[in-house]
Structure formats: C-alpha cells, structure tokens
Amino acid sequence: MEKKNQKKPNVKSLKKLQESLIQVGLRIAKRGEGALFVVGDIEYKNLVEQTVPPFKVMDNQKLLESLALIDGAVIIDPDGMMKAYGVMIKSTTAFKNFGTRHSAGLSAAKGDNLVILISEEDKKVRIMKKGKMIMQIDALQKNVEDSVHGAVEMLESIGAGTLGTIGTSLLIPALGITLLPGIIVFGSAYYLGKLMTKKWR
C-alpha cells in the first residue's frame, strides 16, 4: 500500500488540471470506455508494473489517456503529476446499482480528493468530492467540451461542503439541475435554488 502526504494545491493550477482531466474523460467516454482519475492522497495497490515514470498530465494528455485505459485507477497529485496507474483502490463505500469502479471512486472521494469517473456504460463523466457525487457530464451532448470551463468554475464556486449527500436515485436528471448544456449539478434543493440565480443559468 502506498500513501503520500497531500499538500494544498494552487487554485488556478487545480482548475486547469480539472479541465484537462474532464476533457480527457470526455474523449474516453465518447469511445465507450471507462476510467478513474483520483487527484489527491489515497491508499492503493499496484496491479501492473509501473514502467512509465511520473509526468505532468497537462503536458501529455495522450499518454494519460492511454494509461487511463489500463484496468485500475490513475493517481495524480494536486500539482498534476501522474504518480501511479493501473492501481486498485479499496472500496469502503458501496455505490448501489453500479459496479466496482463507481464504488472505488466514491471511496476515494474523501478529504480534499477529487475523483473523476468515466462510465463506459452510459458515457457519462461523474465528478465526486467529499464522498458525494456533485456533477455529471454527458459526453454525448453536442459541443459539451465548450461547457467544461464553466463546469470547473462552478465546481470551485459550489464547494462540496455545501452539497447534500447523493444517492444513486439522484442520477435522474429531474432531481438535479442542468445549468450548462449536458451538465447536471446535484445537491440540496436549497443550495441549487440559490445557484439558479447565478450566471450559469
């Protein structure tokens, strides 16, 4: 098991990292494949030999995309360095009606970790923080890539602490609010109501 001390990232660089990971995730989802990115500090076990040395993921998205397709998760530090790939994360939280990737993703979404999960079944990119799913992006939505910057700005403005715990029933779009084309934000009705007054309507 490996675990590293986590440091607080620069907000601007974290936003760029999030944008890069979501864009890579959308490309993977469009092809009907799945992946799991964990940004932060998590215990994991290598499933494959780590022959690719750490690299800045924003500088080599093609390599990141290739590594993401290997069975297991990709671990990235808050500065955007790929630390490990093809790793197993112990699932401590079950995600009802979903597979092991979703359970591992929800389990990894603790502390300040950011989890970006790409589902091969429904071609959705799901973003999780603090044990909650807070956003879902539909890779099949026309021009959804154009909304990614706004989605990342929204993520930073919302803050996972303000969002209510999400059950799998809230994957139904009617129970989330679409503020950008192809993007659903989940959370408490009160806070989502406040969001409606913001610029992302």
pLDDT per residue of the chain (201 residues) written in tens, 0 to 9? 444 444 555 677 888 999 999 999 999 999 999 999 999 999 999 999 999 999 999 999 999 999 999 999 999 999 999 999 999 998 776 666 666 888 888 889 988 899 999 999 889 999 988 888 888 888 988 888 887 887 777 666 655 444 443 333 333 444 455 556 677 766 543 344 444 444 444
CATH code, 150: 3.40.1700.10
Quote the pLDDT of residue 74.
97
The range of the structural domain enclosing residue 132 comes to: 11-195
> Helices 61-68 and 11-30 sit at what angle, rounded to 10 degrees?
60
Are 50 and 85 spatial neighbours (Cβ–Cβ below 8 Å)?
Answer: yes
Cα 25 from Cα 72, distance rounded (Å): 15
Q: Most distant CA pair in the chain: distance in Å?
A: 49
Cα 17 from Cα 155, distance rounded (Å): 13
Quote the pLDDT of residue 171.
38
Cα 170 from Cα 79, distance rounded (Å): 32
Q: What are phi and psi of 20, to 5 degrees?
A: -60, -45
Assigned domain for 4 exists: no
Q: Which residues pair with 128 in a beta bridge?
A: 115, 133
Work out how many domains the chain is built from and give that number: 1
